[in-house]
Amino acid sequence: MRIFRPEKKLGCYVLFLLLSLCPTLLLAQQTVTGKVVDAKTKEAIIGAVIKVKDSTQGTVTDVNGQFKIQAGNGGILIISYVGYLSQQVTINGPTANVSLETDAKNLSDVVVIGYGTQKRSDLTGAVASVSTEQLTKTAKSSAIGSMQGIVPGANIIRNNNKPGGGFTVDIRGVHSITGSNAPLVVIDGVPGADLEKINPADIEKIDVLKDASATAIYGSRGANGVFIVTTKRGQTGKPKISYNGYYGVRNYTNKPQMMNVDEFAQLAREAARATNNNVYKPDDQVFTDPSELQAVKTHQGFDWINAVSNPAPQTSHTLSATGGNEEIRYTLSGGYYYEKGMLYPQSYTRYNLRASLDIKATQALSFGGSMYFTNEKRALGNNDLLQDMFRLRPTQFPNSLVTGAPAFQYSSNGLFNALVTSQNVFNDVKSNNLLGNIYVALRPVKGLEIKSTFSPYFTNAATGNYTGVFSKALQGTAAGATASYAKANVGNWVFDNIINYKWSKDIHQLEVTGVYSLQRNQSDNLNAASRDLTFNSLYYNLQGGTMTSFGSSYTQSQLASYLGRVNYTLNSKYLLTASARYDGSSKLAAGHKWVLFPSAALAWRASEEKFLKSISWLDNLKVRLGYGVIGNDSVDPYQSTQLISSPTYYSFGSDVIGNSPGNLPNPNLSWEKTYEVNLGLDFGIFKNRISGSIELYNRLTKDLIMPSAIPITTGYSSLAAANVGSARNKGIEFSLTTVNVQGKDLRWSTTFSAAYNRNKIVDLGFKEDLGKYSPQLAGIMGDYGNKWFIGQPIRSNWNLQTIGIWQLDQATEAAKYGQKPGQFRVRDFDNDGVINQDKDRFLDGKRTPDWTGGVYTNLQYKSFDLSAQGYFQTGARDRNQFYVSYQLENNNGALNNQVKDYWTPENPSNSMGQPSNMGIYRDVNQSSNGNLISVSHVVQKTDFFKVQYINLGYHFPTSLTSKLKISNLRVYGTVQNPFTFSSWKGFDPEQANVSIASTDLITRNFLFGIDVTF
């Protein structure tokens, strides 16, 4: 387990910040007495907080609800208590009695549910919400990353630590065996938009639809859950100008401990010894490079990680203006984000521009629209750089210790000087994205609204690569550099026509929604590559060399939908939601393009019943039950039609160009469908001081879309896409929010969320009895060729079982298996004297976690606020690629290694083999359609708990800011990734099986910022 502590200098910064931000204000005083009661029951409220506005004066009510405070006549008292709406009372005499209304905010919050909104109290499905405060306090570039550990059931994992790196999201487990499990993202009504391109400061809230009764409104696109993103829009009132910005520095944390010069020298000696009948060789035979031999003799070592990496800045700035009146509301904003990588030339830069306008022309007619533009660039640099930093020996220096000559390639292991190669490889990804919508809404009669919205989404992306001569790829010997350039244009649009009718009378409330929607997705691509470029023109002068490849492509698909939804409420206690969506997809086969997705859900607000009203501590109790069918058409276009291959040259005396069929079309390709039942419970007790929800779900996905093997006599080995098999996900989710302390100056609240998921394969198109392959699979049906096991998780591990290291006294037994002492030993399950790659394997867990979740806590003391957020996962086992590369693969002494306890004749370790004598079971790495085939010692637990951030802020008092015409002023300090707790033998358990060539180490970031509104 590793516990990481922030640098001590952070404490100095925070202390200076706190000492400089503590103004006080003295007011003229008189004694004011009063009583605070519940507006409905007239019962005294004990512990209500009374404060004098713009003052440090405060008190709390006693056991009779009474209070006494010193305050000036004409001043303002602020009265607050958990579960009640705060109230301000102007002091006009020595007495001030107050009645507080129950705060039903959590129940009256408006939730976006797709083509409409609902009060949270009226929800019947499983919906979670994330506020703008939760998104921005993390100070992350991506809103998806800010949601880690917040939404129960959403497993969000960062898949790349490079600047601007993305995330993988699974909601309620893995549903598809080979297809995408990513949720649908809807931004301001535009489905399929990219949330990672949106500035988190521009987002008002994100509503997450999880169960089928909630997501069925999106039909074929809602099978993996839905993120509905609402950006900020103008509000009625005087103009407000806001600025939020921060600056900070990033440094590596959780760095694996690599060997120093003496440790590596001994490893190299042991590696040479293992190949010399366990007899040591002289150092001059082990270290044949004179410079390395000099380093060993003088105990000089070079730290390549520190030499190549540098502390990097991170900054963000957002400026916005909002305002309007009853007729016109507007918003404008601009954002800039920059994150430099620890390794040159890595960086991520993003510019955002946003505008919205809402016009109420008459009581019956509204018109408006919005635009969101993003320009971004990711400089990824040399993909081999981090890998080479760890591989380079501490005995290898940028300049020879003997001659002083600069080094490029090292003769002892063929590696290249990372300080040189870092300057000679550039990989850049650039894009411009425009997300917009325009709408017109007509309300001809009371309760009826007819609305049409057109929402285009355009992306222009370019990917460029330049590899110089002095790089690992070209090794300093090529005639010139190589380069490639690719451009992609995406033009999508959605046209929604919505009719909505609301009616209420006495105890009845009814809302009916109908939608006709059209969507078109279109993309075209162009790419080219060249070699022998004579000067560094990056990827902008491909014609300056010899062209090696070029190509282009085009795709288009359409989706048409009809849907209807009814929401009915009886007596504010009994709720019904029913919907049906009829989708048609151009990507599926004729006769299978259209399908109906129905759903229904019931809810009972039990706390509104008379027999529960008398329970004073019960504030909210609601039971929900929902069922729905959702679908998925996530296949590439044209899989159901005949494609033509690339041109082929035939020689019949003269060259003839011909084409052949490129695939076997599937005329029966249809929808992947998911059927789900969800049971939910929402509760709030003790004036909602304790509140939360519990969800139970059972989800069955049928007609899974994935490749399917077919007889080779057809001329093809498989169909690229077919409907075969089914999978089930079951689970429980819960969230709990508590107000732990509520006092005069102190308030402390905590939110905890957790989710358990279990998935398994239920059926397959092709299946057989797997017991014939291995006794460990007796009684299990499945597809052994693809390593799909019915009744087992989708992402299973099928491994040989490591049982230690062969020891000296086991030499005779080891020889029976063709092995020697010092090598990894695996179990012979049937004791037949042979390790069989089928019979001697076992199911070694799965790569999806059992439990995921997080915790958020917020502490407020007077004008100070302190918050922290963490997230965790448990129950998964995955291949540790870093362990394989730097404890196993490189133990032949050629490359540097992590510090470890390895086997020697004098040190009979039972966990790590002998250098250069690991044996054939040192590592086995195979993969079959998402399942891992390996050996158990390289598969490790990925359990972790990460503290995502700690944020400390100070709000300046209104008495001071009002003089500066400022309505809000807060300064804050944030530390990101301060602690990671894990037994994982690597740098990041989130990226277990990610190649180090495509990611980076974790960084701990110290940020200081300001949030001001005028």
pLDDT attached to residue 355: 94
pLDDT attached to residue 4: 38
Kindly report, residue by residue over 668-715, the tens digit of the pLDDT: 777 788 899 999 999 999 988 999 999 999 999 988 877 666 666 666
Distance CA 41, CA 687 (A): 13
Mean pLDDT on 597-607: 92
Mean pLDDT on 777-796: 89
pLDDT of 643 > 80? The answer is no
Distance CA 346, CA 162 (A): 7
Report angle CA 705, 706, 710 to the nearest 5 degrees.
Answer: 120
Distance CA 889, CA 442 (A): 68
pLDDT of 339 > 70? The answer is yes
pLDDT attached to residue 350: 96
In sequence order, the 6+-apart residues with CB closer than 8 A to the CB of 781 are 764, 767, 768, 769, 770, 790, 791
Is residue 107 packed enough to be buried (19+ CB in 10 Å), middle (13-18) or exposed (0-12)? Answer: buried
CB 869 within 8 A of CB 979: no
CB 134 within 8 A of CB 737: no
In sequence order, the 6+-apart residues with CB closer than 8 A to the CB of 282 are none
CB 269 within 8 A of CB 281: yes
pLDDT attached to residue 340: 95
639 or 694, higher pLDDT: 694
pLDDT of 16 > 80? The answer is no
pLDDT tier, 733 (very low <50, low <70, confident <90, very high otherwise): very high
Kindly report, residue by residue over 866-890, the tens digit of the pLDDT: 999 999 999 999 988 888 888 887 6
Kindly report, residue by residue over 433-485, the tens digit of the pLDDT: 999 999 999 999 999 999 999 999 999 999 999 999 998 888 888 889 999 99
pLDDT attached to residue 639: 64
Structure tokens given for 596: 């109906």
At residue 941, what is the residue type?
Answer: K
Distance CA 280, CA 678 (A): 67
pLDDT of 562 > 90? The answer is yes
Q: 242 φ, ψ to 5°? A: -125, 145
Region label for 175, one of left (φ > 0), alpha (ψ between -120 and 50) or beta (otherwise):
alpha
Mean pLDDT on 935-944: 92
Of 376, 372, 413, 371, nearest in space to 396 by CA: 413
Kindly report, residue by residue over 767-777, the tens digit of the pLDDT: 899 999 999 99
pLDDT of 958 > 50? The answer is yes
Out of 14-18, 395-399, 725-729, least confident range? 14-18
Mean pLDDT on 349-368: 94
Of 850, 942, 627, nearest in space to 174 by CA: 850
CB 935 within 8 A of CB 800: yes
pLDDT attached to residue 26: 36
Structure tokens given for 909: 């370790």
pLDDT attached to residue 266: 94
Out of 122-126, 738-742, 819-823, least confident range? 122-126
Of 146, 201, 156, 149, nearest in space to 183 by CA: 156
pLDDT of 930 > 60? The answer is no
Out of 355-369, 707-721, 735-749, 882-896, least confident range? 707-721
CB 803 within 8 A of CB 791: no
Using alpha carbons, list the distances in angstroms from residue 1 to 630, 838, 852, 980: 42, 35, 19, 9
Mean pLDDT on 731-735: 94
Structure tokens given for 368: 């408006």
pLDDT tier, 109 (very low <50, low <70, confident <90, very high otherwise): low
Region label for 223, one of left (φ > 0), alpha (ψ between -120 and 50) or beta (otherwise):
alpha
CB 687 within 8 A of CB 106: no
Q: What is the mean pLDDT of the chain?
A: 86
Report angle CA 329, 335, 340 to the nearest 5 degrees.
Answer: 165
Helices and strands per DSSP (H, E), number in the chain = 15, 53
pLDDT attached to residue 212: 84
Distance CA 340, CA 244 (A): 20
Distance CA 749, CA 740 (A): 5
pLDDT of 24 > 70? The answer is no
pLDDT attached to residue 2: 41
Q: Give the end-to-end CA distance of the chain in Å, rounded to a whole number.
A: 47
CB 177 within 8 A of CB 930: yes
Considering only CA atoms, give the Rg of the chain.
Answer: 32
pLDDT attached to residue 333: 95
Is residue 849 packed enough to be buried (19+ CB in 10 Å), middle (13-18) or exposed (0-12)? Answer: buried
Say what the alpha-carbon torsion angle 720, 721, 726, 731 is, to the nearest 10 degrees.
90
At residue 382, what is the residue type?
Answer: N
CB 850 within 8 A of CB 760: no
Percentage of the chain lying above the pLDDT 90 cut: 49
pLDDT attached to residue 886: 87
pLDDT tier, 11 (very low <50, low <70, confident <90, very high otherwise): very low
**Neighbour count for residue 834 (Cβ, 10 Å):** 12
CB 881 within 8 A of CB 995: yes
226 or 786, higher pLDDT: 226
Distance CA 213, CA 222 (A): 10
pLDDT attached to residue 927: 61
In sequence order, the 6+-apart residues with CB closer than 8 A to the CB of 90 are 74, 75, 76, 77
Report angle CA 376, 225, 132 to the nearest 5 degrees.
Answer: 55
Distance CA 262, CA 657 (A): 63
Q: What is the largest CA-CA distance in the chain?
A: 112
Kindly report, residue by residue over 283-320, the tens digit of the pLDDT: 999 999 999 999 999 999 999 999 999 999 999 999 99
CB 931 within 8 A of CB 969: no
Regarding beta strands 690-702 and 672-685, do their DSSP bridges make them parallel or antiparallel, or are they unpaired?
antiparallel
Asked if the peptide bond before residue 345 counts as cis, ω within 30 degrees of 0, the response is yes
Alpha helices in 190-333 (DSSP H): 212-215, 261-274, 283-286, 290-298, 304-308
- 474: helix, strand or coil: coil
Mean pLDDT on 268-276: 92
pLDDT attached to residue 642: 61
- 82: helix, strand or coil: coil
pLDDT attached to residue 649: 62
CB 823 within 8 A of CB 814: yes
Query: Which residues are paired to 661 by β-bridges?
Result: 644
Out of 128-142, 600-614, 736-750, 901-915, least confident range? 128-142
Structure tokens given for 475: 């090794």
pLDDT of 3 > 60? The answer is no
pLDDT of 170 > 90? The answer is no
pLDDT attached to residue 192: 81
Of 679, 876, 847, 752, nearest in space to 151 by CA: 752
Mean pLDDT on 954-979: 89
In sequence order, the 6+-apart residues with CB closer than 8 A to the CB of 148 are 156, 158, 854, 871, 948
Concatenated DSSP letters of 967-1013: SEEEEEEEEEEEEEE---SSS-GGGTT--GGG----EEEEEEEEEEE
Region label for 716, one of left (φ > 0), alpha (ψ between -120 and 50) or beta (otherwise):
beta
At residue 225, what is the residue type?
Answer: G
CB 948 within 8 A of CB 853: no
pLDDT of 177 > 80? The answer is no
Of 462, 182, 340, 427, nearest in space to 998 by CA: 427
pLDDT of 60 > 90? The answer is no
Kindly report, residue by residue over 382-391, the tens digit of the pLDDT: 988 988 999 9
